[in-house]
Amino acid sequence: MDINTAIAKILDQHGEAIVTAIRGSLANSRKIATGDLQNSVQYEVKEGELLIWANDYFKYVEDGRRGNAPMPPINAILEWLKAKDIPVEGITSRVVTNHATRKTRIRRDNVELSQKKAAFRIAKGIAKNGIRPTGVLRPILNEIQDPLLEAVSQAVANSFGEAIADEWKNSETDKLQIQINFD
């Protein structure tokens, strides 16, 4: 097996393991509302590189968000509220007095308006206080780094050994001449 194929196979195996570990770690950290983030974690082996990607908001789940920052998008929080089925009805109830009749009643906003107000309050809280990081990625990468480097090093050594043996076997002299090209 040539070195490029061997390395691609190793990267493919480790890519699958990394994606599975990230998805599991997200599930264990209870950061799944719709499953979109978990399902967005993918990998690809391309030209000797292992590429891993996810939805753009993975960075906020991984690294958190500092306080005293701009508010996050309210629509994203609204989707999160709906996905988590967090009850917000009556969250914006208030006492209303009719001054002409001097009667008071409790007015409740409709559910959609209540959800929007709740999403705004949550966004405002995130802007003020930030979000704690989960750090799901770093431990996985730290754990996989040494076995990955070991597997690639072994593949390179095997390929180099095979090249030397082939050259020696095909040599017509007692001298071995090796030429190494790195593409």
Give the model confidence (pLDDT) of 101-155 as tens digits: 777 766 666 777 788 889 999 999 999 999 999 999 999 999 999 999 999 999 9
Q: Render pLDDT for 15-68 as a digit per residue (tens, 0 to 9).
A: 999 999 999 999 998 878 889 999 999 999 998 899 999 999 999 999 999 999
Report whether 50 contacts 14 (CB < 8 A): yes
Structure tokens at 33: 């509302």
Report whether 48 contacts 106 (CB < 8 A): no
Report whether 168 contacts 176 (CB < 8 A): yes
Report whether 176 contacts 167 (CB < 8 A): yes
Burial (Cβ within 10 Å: 0-12, 13-18, ≥19) of residue 12? middle
Looking up tokens 């391309």, which residue turns up? 46
Question: Which is nearest to 143 in space by CA: 29, 25, 61?
Answer: 25
pLDDT of 94: 61
> Roughly how many angstroms between the first and final C-alpha of the chain, as a whole number?
17
pLDDT of 56: 93
Q: Which residues contact 73 (CB under 8 A, 6 or more apart)?
A: 123
pLDDT of 100: 79
Question: Which is nearest to 131 in space by CA: 170, 88, 76, 176?
Answer: 76
Domain boundaries, the chain: 1-64+132-183, 65-131
Q: Render pLDDT for 56-110 as a digit per residue (tens, 0 to 9).
A: 999 999 999 999 999 999 999 999 888 888 887 655 556 667 777 777 766 666 7
